[in-house]
Structures are given as C-alpha cells and as structure tokens.
Amino acid sequence: MAGNTFGTIFKITSFGESHGQAVGVVVDGCPPGIEISAKEIQIELDRRKPGQSKITTPRKEQDAIHLLSGIFEGKTTGTPILMIAYNAEFASDDYLELKDLYRPSHADFTYEAKYGFRDWRGSGRASARETLARVAAGALAKKYLRQKLGIEFLSFVDSVGEIQSQVDLNNVSLVDIESNIVRCPDQKAAEKMIKLIEQVRSEGDSVGGTIRGVIRNVPVGLGEPVFDKLSADLGKAMLSINAVKGFEIGSGFEGTKTQGSQHNDSLHLKEGKIRTKTNFAGGIVGGISNGEMIYFKVAFKPVSTIKKEQKTVNQKGEEVNLEAAGRHDPCVLPRAVPIVDTMAALVIMDHLLRHKAQNQ
C-alpha cells in the first residue's frame, strides 16, 4: 500500500520529487465556498521555501504555486483541488558522487532495499521538498478553520542544540515568531541560536532542536477514540515530517516526574463553561479536545547531509569515505515551522469534518 495520502475526509495526496519536474498535491474532501487565491497560498509557501535567509540552504526556488482545478471564481468548488509548483533550480550533477553509495542517516539504503532502486538526485521522495505540497494544502485548512472558528496555529523554534528559549505560550504571537530569521520569539535566545547555526555551518556540520506547536480556540469534542485520538493523529502527522525523531503533548516527558495530585487538571466553571485551572493535558483528554489550548513539542535531528568526512558503504559493498557536496540547511528548524503549522491544521481540519459528519 502506498503511503502518499493523509486524512480521512479532508484528504491530501502529494506527488513529485526534489529534482524532478515538479512537486504538487491533490486535495479531496475540501468544503466548497472557501475564498482562496494563489497569492494567499504563496504567503504560506514563502515561509517554507529555500534560500530565504543566511542560515538556510542557498538553493533558489520561488515555489510559485499554480492552481489547476477545484477552484472557480476564487472559491473552492468541493471537487478535487490540484496544486503544483515547478522545480526551477535542480543541479542533479551535484549528486553524481552519491549515485553509487549510501549516505549516513539518509534514506538511500532503506529506499533501495524497499523498492529495488532509488532516485539518487536529492533523495527523491525522501527529500523535505515534498513538504511544499503539504504546506499548500494546509493553507486551505488554516483559512477555513480561522474563518469558521477562529482557530489559530502558532509554531516556533523552541530550542537549537542546547540553547533553550523561554516563551509564554499564552502570549506568543506570529509577529514575535517572524521577528527574526530563526523564528524564535525569545529574542535573546534567537540571537544565540543564529550564532550557533552559523558556527556549525562554517564547520561543515549541522544541528537539531525542537519546535513548539500551539493551537488556540479548538472546540470541545474533536477526536475519534480509540485508534484515531486527536493526540495520536497529531503525533502521526508530526512524525511524518522529515528529520522528526520525537513528539510529546502537554506536559510530555516532564509530566512523568510528577504525581497525580500535582498533574491532574482540576475543573471549574468559567463564564458558564467547564474549563481546567491548569493544562498539563495539553488540551486533549481521552483523545478528545477539551477546549483548552493544545500545545506540543516536536524534536528534529541534525540534518544528515554534512560536509565533514564520514565513513559509509557503496553499492559494491565497499567501505568508502564521503564528504558531501550540494546545498543543504545546517539546521532545518526555521523552515520546518510552517510545516508543523500545516500538519497540525490538516489534522484539526480532518477531525472537525469527521465530528460534523457524525454529530450534525
């Protein structure tokens, strides 16, 4: 079974390769009547595209989106939406040296083991360039959820290496997040993060970190226990992103260090509604949203392609040394922020439509 489709009602299927002709997405199950334009979608894509700052890959791609079906007179029609962005700058020759060997911590070996051969030009489908398709689809979901329910998605770089930000999740804003090139709303921490990324780049190395996701104004009742819990689907969505190695929601692993009397979110009435005084659960209880802010953390490993010499194996079974060329991010986190937003929006959109189908 192919694994290129995500969602149950609001369903997306991505296609294309890093160094192929194009990358795109088909969105099915989108409600009709959503006012959307290529310009609005482009705003989201511009936050993800390469070459946007001195700490990202120098590859230049405009990621210009083309809407080919499912939108008429500026509104979604309810029929499948096809969006595509043509690749402009793909120097496949940069990858010729990688054609016959397997890069450490890349999907080269596993893809070839699964399919019998692989696209060695920039990792093919294993490349993070595929996420362009997700972000385009997520723009639709984000607009619908914002207009209908005022749902807001705010992701930001929480840590890079050992540098940890200090951010009040209740007050963080998009303006704060976009105020610097690393997309960390803690300005002091952001300065240190940028310096660290520049340092590892100069050394031919890479660095990882975490992204914090925040979702506000999610209504009570979203989630489909037992196997499609809202938290479970958020976890699957985040773990499907390239380079992600961990996911936690609410108090996460830190919550394991507390006792039930400390961790339980006591209930009270506020303006006639049941609310919790604390939010260690992260806005989801029993796999169903409880009306509180949803927050989670996603861990990204250091980018695998580095310029330092590494030992590996080629297709002949010989041990060889590799010093990778090409254009790569020394830290994927700044460009991954809109991808985390997108995957969260796709999950909430799908669960909202599932909830409405069952209960209204």
Could you read off the pLDDT of 182-225 as tens digits, one per residue?
Answer: 999 999 999 999 999 999 999 999 999 999 999 999 999 999 99
Residue 349 scores a pLDDT above 70: yes
Burial 163-191 (b: 16+ CB within 10 A, else e): bebebeeeebeeebbeebbbbbbbeebbe
312 close to 322: Cβ distance less than 8 angstroms: yes
287 close to 294: Cβ distance less than 8 angstroms: no
Q: Which CATH class is domain 5-359?
A: alpha beta
pLDDT of residue 120: 82
Q: Which residues pair with 72 in a beta bridge?
A: 75
pLDDT of residue 93: 60
Q: pLDDT tens digit string along 297-346?
A: 999 999 998 888 899 998 888 999 987 665 678 999 999 999 999 999 99
126: helix, coil or strand? helix
Provide the whole-model pTM.
Answer: 0.95
pLDDT of residue 63: 87
Who has greater pLDDT, 232 or 61? 232
pLDDT of residue 253: 97
342 close to 134: Cβ distance less than 8 angstroms: yes
Residue 92 scores a pLDDT above 70: no
Residue 60 scores a pLDDT above 70: no
